[in-house]
Amino acid sequence: MENPFKEQIEGLEFYRWISVDDCSEKLNVSKRTVFKYLKEGKIRGVKWKNRRLVDSVSVIGFLLEKRVIEYEQLKSEEMKKMVKRKLIE
């Protein structure tokens, strides 16, 4: 059975910072849920020019912790290194 998050993972690997809209679309959750995850510290983000940007590494780390995806599914070696560092922190 193919993982429904495969395409979303590829999109997250390509960009380091994504908008809340993009994050909610990739995770198939509401924007409100993304803001809740940010507030609870489940994912990381920053405010930039009056916008909230979400760290895609923290999103992938969150999905790995929840066992939604597996580490082997990550294609980018750079992303694998960043996620590994995040999980060690």
Q: What is the CATH number of the domain that holds 35?
A: 1.10.10
Average pLDDT over residues 8-17: 67
CA distance 46 to 55: 8
Is residue 18 domain-resident? yes
Domain count within the chain: 1
Task: Give yes or no for a contact between 52 and 36, defined as CB atoms under 8 angstroms apart.
Answer: no
Domain with 63 in it: 6-88
pLDDT at 6 (0 to 100): 56
At 83 the three-state DSSP class reads helix
The pTM is what? 0.73
Is residue 1 domain-resident? no
Residue 54, classified by CB atoms within 10 Å of its CB into exposed (0-12), middle (13-18) or buried (19+), is buried
Is residue 72 domain-resident? yes
pLDDT, one tens digit per residue, over 37-81 is 999 999 999 998 999 999 988 888 888 888 777 777 777 777 777
More confident residue, 2 or 81: 81
Is residue 66 domain-resident? yes
